[in-house]
Structure 1
Amino acid sequence: MFNDDAYFRFGNLIGYRDSFTDTALTNDKLVGLLQQAIKSSNLTLVCFDEKNRLTYANTRAFEMFNVTSSDSLERVFFDWIETYSKHLEYSNWCQVYEALDGEKVYDITCQRIHTSEGKLRNSIYIIDECVPSSSGKAGVRYRQMHDPLTGLLNREGFCHVVEEYRNRHKNDRGAHYLIITNIRDFKLINQIHGDKFGDSILKTTGRIIKSLMYADDIYGRLYADKFAILVPEKNFDKAMYHSMINLIRSQIASEKQTLRLQAGVYKMDTMMDDVSAMCDRAMIALNSIKSEDPVTFAFYDPEMMKQAITEKIVVTHFESALKNGEFRIYLQPQVNHHEELIGCEALVRWKKDDNTVIPPNAFIPVLEKSNLISHLDAYVWELAAIKLREWKHTEFRDLYISVNISPRDMEFMDVYEVITGLAKKYDIDPSKLHLEITETAIMRNPATVSDMILRLKEDGFIIEIDDFGSGYSSLNMLKDIRADVVKIDMGFLRKSENEDRSRIILDSVIYMAKRLGMSTVTEGVETSQQFEELNSMGCDVYQGYLYSKPVSIMDFEKKYSRIYKSEKII
């Protein structure tokens, strides 16, 4: 126990007013814990100065580590806690210690106190046995139930604790929320930046989750980047969780990686569902998220189950469908201001063995979410290259084919190497293969994409900025990205109460593109009136149902054979 002098010295220590981090203990809480440690015979209390020299230890500390001198205690303590003290991630964590009577698990609260200049002044450790065990095997059970990286419950531990909680509260009427969080593209982050960087993200995430939870919340790391939290309704505050996720993002923000975090939420009016069913529904909500926003929440809805089953079918059959040639390219014509055919866009369709055609909006978002879209895109590019080779000695030899590059493609492959490799493999003129890159793809990584575009242009490929005007940084992007073509988003042609404003914007974009040495393509042209208006503005190329919907290669070649340069094609 402290004598008066010791308590006086500690009164000065903890009375020093300084700034604490978001996850640190407050001064009042620290005082309370110290007073509790001083009075308790069960709590271990050790304190060190800025050079990690022991300044105080209570009797329990000497008993716990079975030493009699301060030097020995200092050495044994830092031998035990060394891995945590060098790169401390938590203000509170659990750790196993092998005592004379067997392994025990201790809850450790650490507070580092700094001067007003930010220099370390003292480190205080309060240690409590959190899993008492007369058999000395508490450490074994602890390791079975906890994640060694974050110190949180692992999947087994989380399910076990939630199941015990559920059994106690089955008849309660209060609602509960199960939340599962996800770091978008975490596997890719690990591949690019290494496991050490990925581990730091996971440890920071675990530390912040632990610091913000209530005493009756249950939380853990299920696997990889998936963290789960079970909270009673009285503790659930979406704004707080939104702030928590933003705090995680801010702690890890760096030039290396911008994180996008997502959360699936399942609300239960009773605790009748078993743990696996709760997690399944929260995961379905999580997997329903298509937004590219930095922070996104999705709440489970029964319709999501049907959608999840459909998406599972798409992912399950994708590889075999690709291998069996079920994905085909359909071509939609593009015409010049004389309404003469000059090229087409390749659009993918999934045509099953029974001739059922699955539209792209039924499978492309699923493949994007499942990180499979790059496989499909590379396949489509190759089909387009093969067709251009076949056209080299036919009446279609002057036509080009434009293909789409997804934002995800640049994350999973070297687009430059794949595209240039196809041009060499099939001996095609690069200018006949137009590459459509969306604003979203460009704005994700402007420097990298800009460099890739310059290299492709130098090799003779035509670069188009697709869906121009659908994003938020269009004009700024044009300043830095030297593309050949601006493809104007069809949204400008849709009927609305703002048609006059749309025409003004269209006219300005077309004029600006010409000043920048870029040609323009407008998609979604459906009426002769739209064509006439666009033509008067100086648009170069037109695409839409006025000329044709996307059709199979056979129908395209049959319809436009020998007429595409001599007649209008309407």
Structure 2
Amino acid sequence: MDKLYMILLCLMIVPILICIKYSRKIKSDVASSIVKCLIFAIVTILSNGLSAFSGNETFSYIMEALYRFSFDLMLIYVLQYSQQYTRVFHEVSPFKKGCFIIAYLDGILLFLNIIFHNVFTIETVRFPNFDMYHVADKSIIFYFHYVFAYGLVFCIIASFIIKIIQIPDFYRKKYLPILVLICVITVSKFICGISEFPIDVSLPFFVCAAILICYLTLYRSSRELVDKTLSIVVNEMNNAVICFDINNECVYANERALKIFNSSLDSLSGISEDVQGWIKEHDTNNSASLEWSGQTIIDNKTYYFDIEYRKLFDKKNEYIGFFLNLIDNTEKHIAFEKEKYLATHDTLTGLYNKNYFAQKTSEILNENPDKEWLLICSNIKDFKLVNDLFGLEKGNEVLKMEADLLKAQCGEGSVYGRTGGDKFSICIPKEEFKEQDFMDAIQTMGHAFNNDLYHLHIYVGVYEITDRNEDVSIMCDKANLAIKTLGENYDKSIAYYSDTIFHDTVAEKQLVGDFDKALAEKQFCMYLQPQVTSEGKLLGAEALVRWQHPKRGLIFPGDFIEVFEKTGLIYRLDRFVWELAVQKLAQWQKAGRDDLYISVNISTKDFYYMDVYETITSLVETYKIIPSTLKLEITETAIMTGTAGELEMIERFRKSGFQVEIDDFGSGYSSFNTLKDMDVDVLKIDMGFLRTTRPERLERSMSIINTIISLTKTLGLSVITEGVETKEQIDKLTQMGCGIYQGYYFSKPIPVGQFEDTYL
């Protein structure tokens, strides 16, 4: 019987040895703990068998002590394995060391028991055909061994139970079988201890436990579980994965692929038919892997894919099929197209934006070198008023209508876009441009939006392209320069660019560029035009400016005043002339000529860029002149259209001793209304308008002048008539009551030095 049992023990040890061999190949902490568990399991199995069938009592004591000591160590390493495998309890070094210390103390007591028999004794149990030894007369020290062993078992079971509770069902198969087997071993061990049966009936379960632990821990977790995880990942991934056999028949498609191709696992043939077209377009026979981008229409919806083709081979490197990995870029493609559209088009009108219009214009010019082309720009006059008066929605409606009308005037070979707020541009073949059609479109818009508050007017500038390599933005600038020539003209809507416009613009830019240097170097000089009585007696003069340019010579005001008014430089020039006039008055007054005055002009823009009152009074105080000798000329237009408190300022000037003149009286449309609203000292009447009057109306014009002069007498104002050129004009004006004259009949504007030599 003892030989048979030993053979069974050896048979049990063989699977454990195989597990040890396999486990040692794997380099990990878990595998190392398993190997140690299995080694002590072998010792436990052998020592238990040898203890029962030894035939020698002393040897039986030794094997029984070894059996229980190795069982303690095995449990310690099982606990270490459970901590590493479940990761529920972190390994605590003091606890681990304490377990080993207790196990060694227990071992010492067990091995001392061989001599002293103070822990347990061994008795012989007689059976019909054989005898066995078993443990009897257990002391309290022996039960300490039980408490320690079952304490370790409790920790092991607890770690597995906690882990199983925390994880999903998918992972419980890794832990539940091991827990069940440990519980079975524990129960069988407990029953064996109570029954005092010599043979540990839990030992066969050690073999099962060894195999199960190795399989679930080292094989299933790293192989089977990974395979299932990958299967779920493939099925749930956003990419469409389709597998084919060697006959190009679809054998698998994940959920994403089934959804895209509107198919099911039971009917994969439809996917095969859809995909075959892609495969035939590429040389898959001579390639193990390919990548390309493609698109297909499925259920009237276009899909865009990045496609990866890869052949599959078995372990013998034999071809077994292939798979396609379809990365669905449909949403990304749509987003890209939308982003591309927004980057190249105006969102409101759908036309090209400024940059893309320039790019497409350059392309079409290069692609059609034999055609003549026009670049046309449009601009809505005072478009800001539309938004201010009617709201942004109405303004957008105007812009969209203009965009539609412009598109209607263009053929397929034209390019059009929105290049600014209310600015549109077109590049059109010259032969297709019909001016009348554009005029009709402008009138159509005018009729659609005109009302009592606002009249819509669109200006169009046309530039004939002569240099195809010229930057498109410069072409647009030239077309817009043509628009500027229309000014406030409501009778014309279309203007054509010419070299004259360009040269005038360049000349203006040069004037502006030279301004700072000219002002610093005092290139601007004051000319004086005398103001006299009918007998020629000098009363004063009007200060006028000339520009003594170092390269261009003497430049008259007509060539630069308007430019400086547009660019906002006029206020600096006016202040310069004012100071020259004040300086000259100071010289005259020091010389005893405080009976003379100088009139200076105040521009409309001066009121916007500086404090006119503070500037002029400061000059008068600095040079200590009599305020009444510096007369201030303000145009009627500046007074009537100004918004900077001009009327109040005029009153302040008069209270400070200055005399204020209305220049060019009669040239505006509200002259008498002006006289009603403001107090001035002098009216200046310009005789220049008589030169444009037809001869038969000359007498009527003189009657109007007579009426104005009579009115000034009634209001207590003085009158200066400028622009007089003949003795006849002097005689008639004198009869009407005019006493002061200015004009070429007496003198043209002359330099200050010549003025002083002639009149002082």
Same fold (TM over 0.5): yes
User: Secondary structure of 1:237's match?
Assistant: helix
* Higher deviation after alignment, 240-249 or 225-234: 240-249
Pick one of 266, 269, 274 that aligns with 2:462.
266
**Paired residue for 2:377?**
179
Partners of 1:410 and 1:250 lie apart in 2 by 33
Contact 1:464 1:485 in 2 (8 A): yes
Pair 1:472-2:669 in alignment: yes
Partners of 1:502 and 1:434 lie apart in 2 by 28
**Paired residue for 2:640?**
443
Pick one of 276, 283, 308 that aligns with 2:505.
308
Contact 1:204 1:251 in 2 (8 A): no
**Paired residue for 1:210?**
403
**Paired residue for 2:433?**
233
User: Secondary structure of 1:213's match?
Assistant: helix
**Paired residue for 1:157?**
356
Contact 1:290 1:365 in 2 (8 A): no
**Paired residue for 2:520?**
323
The aligned amino acid for 1:238 is M
User: Secondary structure of 1:423's match?
Assistant: helix
1:74-103 Cα distance to aligned partner (Å, 9 max, x none):
xxxxxxxxxxxxxxxxxxxxxxxxxxx99x
* Higher deviation after alignment, 440-449 or 378-387: 440-449
* Closer/same/farther in 2, CA of residues 184 and 435 from structure 1, 3 Å limit: farther
User: Secondary structure of 1:487's match?
Assistant: strand
Partners of 1:176 and 1:372 lie apart in 2 by 35
1:90-147 Cα distance to aligned partner (Å, 9 max, x none):
xxxxxxxxxxx99xxxxxxxxxxxxxxxxxxxxxxxxxxxxx9826323443444356
User: Secondary structure of 1:137's match?
Assistant: helix
User: Secondary structure of 1:545's match?
Assistant: coil
The aligned amino acid for 2:406 is M
The aligned amino acid for 1:409 is D
Contact 1:346 1:384 in 2 (8 A): yes
Contact 1:490 1:523 in 2 (8 A): yes
Partners of 1:456 and 1:261 lie apart in 2 by 41
Pick one of 609, 616, 630 that aligns with 1:433.
630
User: Secondary structure of 1:392's match?
Assistant: helix
Contact 2:565 2:605 in 1 (8 A): yes
Partners of 2:679 and 2:714 lie apart in 1 by 13
Contact 1:182 1:261 in 2 (8 A): yes
Partners of 2:523 and 2:700 lie apart in 1 by 43
User: Secondary structure of 1:398's match?
Assistant: coil
**Paired residue for 1:490?**
687
**Paired residue for 1:537?**
736
Contact 2:374 2:427 in 1 (8 A): yes
* Closer/same/farther in 2, CA of residues 531 and 511 from structure 1, 3 Å limit: same
Alpha-carbon shift at residue 375 of structure 1 (Å): 2.3
Partners of 1:560 and 1:181 lie apart in 2 by 53
Pick one of 518, 527, 530 that aligns with 2:726.
527
1:441-468 Cα distance to aligned partner (Å, 9 max, x none):
2232378433332233233322211112
User: Secondary structure of 2:669's match?
Assistant: coil
Partners of 2:519 and 2:646 lie apart in 1 by 28
**Paired residue for 2:92?**
none
**Paired residue for 2:542?**
345
User: Secondary structure of 2:664's match?
Assistant: strand
Contact 1:260 1:293 in 2 (8 A): no
Alpha-carbon shift at residue 502 of structure 1 (Å): 2.1
**Paired residue for 1:500?**
699
Alpha-carbon shift at residue 306 of structure 1 (Å): 2.4
Partners of 2:675 and 2:492 lie apart in 1 by 27
Aligned length: 420
Contact 2:375 2:475 in 1 (8 A): no
Alpha-carbon shift at residue 310 of structure 1 (Å): 1.9
Contact 2:604 2:642 in 1 (8 A): no
* Closer/same/farther in 2, CA of residues 535 and 377 from structure 1, 3 Å limit: same
* Closer/same/farther in 2, CA of residues 251 and 537 from structure 1, 3 Å limit: closer
Contact 1:333 1:344 in 2 (8 A): yes
The aligned amino acid for 2:681 is D
* Closer/same/farther in 2, CA of residues 283 and 548 from structure 1, 3 Å limit: same
Pick one of 620, 625, 630 that aligns with 1:423.
620
Q: Higher strand share goes to which structure? A: 1
* Higher deviation after alignment, 344-353 or 444-453: 444-453
Query: Which of structures 1 and 2 has the larger relative contact order (alpha carbons within 8 angstroms, sep 6+)?
Result: 1
Partners of 2:383 and 2:635 lie apart in 1 by 20
* Closer/same/farther in 2, CA of residues 418 and 447 from structure 1, 3 Å limit: closer
Identical-residue share of aligned pairs (%): 40
* Higher deviation after alignment, 313-322 or 276-285: 276-285
**Paired residue for 2:576?**
379
Alpha-carbon shift at residue 536 of structure 1 (Å): 0.9
Partners of 1:488 and 1:543 lie apart in 2 by 10
Contact 1:435 1:463 in 2 (8 A): yes
* Higher deviation after alignment, 465-474 or 326-335: 465-474
Contact 2:607 2:644 in 1 (8 A): no
The aligned amino acid for 1:532 is D
The aligned amino acid for 1:382 is E
TM (norm. structure 1) is 0.63
User: Secondary structure of 2:604's match?
Assistant: coil
Partners of 2:444 and 2:640 lie apart in 1 by 25
Alpha-carbon shift at residue 534 of structure 1 (Å): 0.8
Partners of 1:157 and 1:165 lie apart in 2 by 12
Pair 1:515-2:711 in alignment: no
**Paired residue for 1:366?**
563
Contact 1:260 1:295 in 2 (8 A): no
Partners of 2:549 and 2:448 lie apart in 1 by 47
Gap regions ≥5 residues in structure 2? 1-302, 305-330
Task: Tell me which structure has the larger Cα radius of gyration.
Answer: 2
Alpha-carbon shift at residue 201 of structure 1 (Å): 11
User: Secondary structure of 1:428's match?
Assistant: coil
The aligned amino acid for 1:401 is I
Pair 1:557-2:756 in alignment: yes
